[in-house]
Structure 1
Amino acid sequence: MSTSFRHLGPGYRKGPVLLRGNQIPGETSDKRLLDNSESADWVHQDPWRVLRIQSEFVEGFGALAELGPAISIFGSARTKQDHPDYDLARQCAHLIVERGYAVITGGGPGVMEAGNRGADEAGGVSVGLGIELPFEQGMNEHVNLGVNFRYFFARKTMFVKYASGFIVLPGGFGTFDELFEALTLVQTHKITEFPIVLVGSDYWGGLLDWLRTTVATRGMINPADLDLFHVVDTAEEAVRIVADHADSVQAAAAQSLHDSDEEPVEG
């Protein structure tokens, strides 16, 4: 591993363990898990790996089970504090808290920091779901409920399970990964009642044109799949779409529970 990584950020998180300096490993847990060149000996030499994976789900569920309704904000870790996207994410988080929801981000810098900052400043619950990376920069200071993960798949489960919707600001591969996973889950009915809002038509416009004119035209997706997400340009629009939808889902669930309580018991 390049020694330049060993001096970035306040430390390297490997599950609950904090490493610094020459203690930082050359590979992440995800990379070792997904390396198909490795022999099957690890099953016998490292039986704790499966338990570590299990523990990530248990710890994540335990930490977030009583979180209450929340909305996830995604976007680039590279966004600087003086960039308009940073302020936009901060505004989104502030409005989310005003609507009675917690804010979930990846816990890192950039748009994630802005989301956590806006939630914290508004007096809401600011959640960060961190991930072990070779260039780890640590959980940002505005997170007041943080969980660190070794494995992307465990972390991504928490984003979807505990959020009532996604607000996606401009970002790179990591943002695309979260976006398209959510779209796939909605498209295949693995999750329902899940609004996805892209903020910034100037940034997302080229992608949408490609989906519409190339992907849909060639029959790779249905034209109706383009209705699985919304594109807006303001924090107010983004939060209104996600929060209004989440409010209606919660109201319907409450009504259903009320109706079931009033059903007569047959004797």
Structure 2
Amino acid sequence: MTDRTHDRMTGPVVERRGQVTEGSTTDQRLLDSRGPTDWVHTDPWRVLRIQAEFVEGFGALAELGPAIAVFGSARTPADHPHHAVAEEAGRKLAEAGFAVITGGGPGTMEGANKGACQAGGVSVGLGIELPFESGLNQWVDKGINFRYFFARKTMFVKYSQGFIVLPGGLGTLDELFEALTLVQTQKVTSFPIVLIGKDYWSGLLGWLRETVLADGKINAADLDMMVLTDDVDEAVRLMVDARDDRWPTPAPKRPE
């Protein structure tokens, strides 16, 4: 097996072995306004690169069709039960006629891509330039590598009709809470958000209910945006129901 430990993605470019360049990420350089005023001259040109990422993303995904984003930890080992659940979810989503979109990395993301790919579905990976990940996994059929998180996040929200969230870390929590915020503030049309893993997520939901809701920081309806389950079939069924409501089957035409 190829050793990809030292691979690094820099936008669409993959660097390996002696070609890996150390240093900050593109996002970090864009958002860091400290130090010299060089950014005054360089940031306007960065807009063109940002624009290009949106153009590439829209062009690649415009005809994708109904798709579900599956989120989860990049650190999940291949022999972990969460990996198997992700693979099952990817497979059953593909069998239900969905494309599967992940962050394209290892762990849970790879499991979901693998399930979709092996089931004959469309397996999509939206990668991101990070200092510690090794590019798109081998099960991605259509992949796009981004430099900027905000461009990548736009693609997840625009082209996914629902989110399935498996156990994960900060990146997974970021995607989850961003989706909840966008739905809450009506920046996007409401879509199903399903958390798989009662043991993992119950503590978070309990804190939201017993602390955040109790203190008046959210409404009870905000918690209703999420469904917690251990059943992959239930998660997929919720996605199918939402799709059928959004794209109802046309009524048969009456004979002339």
TM-score (norm 2): 0.93
Contact 1:119/1:126 (8 A) holds in 2? yes
Instruction: State the match for 1:264 in structure 2.
Output: none
Equivalence for 1:246: 243
For the Cα contact (< 8 Å) 2:71–2:172, is it kept in 1?
yes
Pairing partner for 1:44 from 37, 41, 46:
41
Q: Is residue 127–residue 136 contact of structure 2 (8 Å, CA) maintained in 1? A: yes
Q: Is the 8 A contact 2:105 2:134 kept in 1?
A: yes
Give the gaps of 5 or more residues in structure 2: none
Per-residue CA deviation, residues 81-102 of structure 1 (Å, 9 max, x unaligned), is: 1111111111111111111110
CA distance in 2, matches of 1:67, 1:243: 16
| Cα offset, 1:8, TM superposition | 5.4
Structure 2 vs 1, CA of residues 83 and 47 (structure 1 numbering), >3 Å: closer, same or farther?
same
Aligned equivalent of 1:9, options 5, 18, 21? 5
Instruction: Map 1:1-267; keep pairs closer than 5 Å.
Output: 9=5, 11-20=7-16, 21=18, 23-45=20-42, 47-251=44-248
TM-score (norm 1): 0.89
Distance (whole Å) between structure 1 residues aligned to residue 247 and residue 79 of structure 2 = 36
Q: CA deviation at 1:169?
A: 0.3
Residues 247 and 71 of structure 1: CA distance in aligned 2, closer, same or farther (over 3 Å):
same
Distance 1:185 1:237, change over 3 A: same
SS in 2 for 1:18: strand
The alpha-carbon distance between structure 1 residues 84 and 23, as it changes in their structure 2 partners (threshold 3 A), is closer
> Which protein has the bigger helix share?
1
Q: Are 1:10 and 1:138, in contact at CA under 8 Å, matched by a contact in 2?
A: no
When the two chains are superposed, the root-mean-square deviation of aligned CA atoms in Å is: 1.8
Listed one character per residue, the Cα deviations across residues 169-206 of structure 1 (whole Å, up to 9, x for unaligned) are 00000000000000000001111131100001110000
Q: Is the 8 A contact 2:7 2:20 kept in 1?
A: no
Q: Quote the offset at 1:19 in angstroms.
A: 2.3
For structure 1, list consecutive stretches of 5 or more residues without a partner in the other structure.
Answer: 1-6, 260-267
Number of residue equivalences: 250
Stretch deviating more after TM superposition (8-17 or 53-62): 8-17
Distance 1:226 1:136 in 2: 33
CA deviations 1:91-129 (Å, max 9, x no partner) are: 111111111110000000000000000000000000000
Distance 1:250 1:39 in 2: 52
CA distance in 2, matches of 1:155, 1:174: 13
CA contact (8 A) 1:88 1:234 kept: no
Distance 1:152 1:223 in 2: 30
SS at match of 1:251: coil
Matches of 1:208 and 1:105 in 2, distance apart? 23
Letter in 2 for 1:136: E
Partner secondary structure for residue 126 of structure 2: strand
CA distance in 2, matches of 1:38, 1:153: 24
Give, as a single letter, the amino acid of the residue that structure 2 aligns with 1:90.
Answer: E
The SS at the match of 1:171 is coil
Shift in CA distance, 25/168, structure 1 to aligned 2, threshold 3 Å = same
**Structure 2 CA distance, aligned partners of 1:131 and 1:213?**
35
Q: CA deviation at 1:17?
A: 2.1
Shift of 1:239: 0.8
Higher mean C-alpha deviation, range 241-250 or range 148-157: 241-250
What is the one-letter code of the residue matched to 1:170?
Answer: P
2:14–2:135 CA contact under 8 A, matched in 1: no
